[in-house]
Amino acid sequence: MTPKRSIPDVAVLVFSFLFFPDLVCAQDPGLGLPAPSKNAWSVQMAESFIARNRDSISYPDSKRPERWDYEQGVILEALKQVWKAGGDERYLEYLRRSIDRFVEDDGSIRTYEFTSYNLDNINTGRQVLFLFERTGLLKYRAAAETLRFQLRQHPRTLSGGFWHKKIYPYQMWLDGIYMAEPFYARCSAMFGDTAAFEDIAHQIIEIERRTRDPKTGLLYHGWDESHHQRWADTATGCSPHFWGRAMGWYAMGIVDVLDVFPSNHPKRPALLSVFKRVIDAIAAYQDAESGVWYQVLDQADRKGNYKEASCTAMFVYAIAKGVRMGYLDRSARAIAERGFEGMIDEFVTKDADGLPNLNHVCSVSGLGGNPFRDGSFEYYVGEPQRTNDLKGVGPFILAAVELGK
């Protein structure tokens, strides 16, 4: 494992000015989108989040200890994008303050456990890279190097795919693409590791190849290469159902990777093809009446299924960004617009102080583990729903920024 550094913060700053002059206080080019007004949904939801999480990112009803977590990365990415679009500098300050609660002066990451080999732990590294690029402080580079070192050592399937976690051997989950690949891609671009892009493309292409249903085009939540898991189909190794948020993570992961994936790389056309197939499949299951998507995507009429906010927000974001970046036909924007309108109608309410709430977000869903999660329809619809879950609020803000809402 990468050893700890012991460089005082002031010395780090001086060193950064001397050796990284182009990185210190670098100006972000922005998104080329209209600056949001104070009444924009992106700003309203960002302000609502900060009002409820003034000192740290947590859930008021949760007893779990504060820890380095992928959910921080999702919400901080959202605040960053509001700032990049012309939003308040307070969002940038909040981002740095939140990361600095975990990244120590020597670059070590408080509560991070390297040996768990958990892809979820990689996601927040995107913000560490951003802060290093913006400030030049070596503590951020050291933290990023530790996360990159995890990926170098991370256990893989025999076909080269990252295990989702050490405790889930020989399993790839769609969630893992968002958790690891955008960081992996940006880190590789920033530090000139061009050879890594072949591996990044492989992760995205491999899991689609293993989980895509030829009839619907939808992707199953997980794949067990060993076919030994009780939730795995004995013939394919796939889990039984199409979970909305899993496909949302996957779609967001691809569209974010494409930001820095080399334009001349031979695998870029394949990634664009995967992205288009995913969006085509998603669009076919948008609820015609409400414009949103269901927890289990292909079973809208089945008793117990419900309209789910996080997957809807993720799909809206991925589609809207795909159109803006030219990956999708401009006609697809109508799908995103209808989805966003549906979110406002179906999921958003305001509290007594006028702050918006985002309702009907699935709290969590996984496969296997203890207690055992069998991936059945009953399991997915039976997991608790949470109001203002970060996995919904973050993508909602991202979607609003992309649409200029």
Cα separations in angstroms, 176 against 92, 200, 251, 403: 26, 12, 11, 26
- The catalytically annotated residue of 175, 224, 256, 389 is 175
Closest CA to 401 of 320, 286, 282: 320
Number of C-beta neighbours around residue 212 at 10 A: 18
Chain centroid offset of residue 334 CA: 23
Strand pairing of 348-350 and 361-362? unpaired
**Half-sphere CA count of 269, side-chain side, radius 13 A:** 2
Structural contact between residues 236 and 226, judged by C-beta atoms closer than 8 angstroms: no
Would you tell me the crossing angle of helices 41-52 and 390-403 to the nearest 10 degrees?
150
* Residue 142: both structure tokens together: 């050291």
Residues 17 and 13: their CA atoms lie apart, in Å, by: 6
Active site residue 175: yes
Farthest CA pair distance, the chain: 63
Residue 166 CB neighbours (<10 A): 13
**CA distance linking residue 263 with residue 277, whole number of Å:** 20
Q: How far apart are CA 108 and CA 144, in angstroms?
A: 10
Q: Which residue in the block uniquely carries the two structure tokens 């496969």?
A: 367
Round to whole Å and give the CA distance between 353 and 42.
17
| Residue type (1 letter), 343 | M
Q: How many CB atoms are located within 10 Å of the residue 401 CB? A: 29
Amino acid at 217: G
Please answer whether residues 43 and 82 qualify as being in contact, where contact means their C-beta atoms are separated by less than 8 angstroms: yes
Show the tokens assigned to 320: 């809207």
| Active site (catalytic) residues | 175
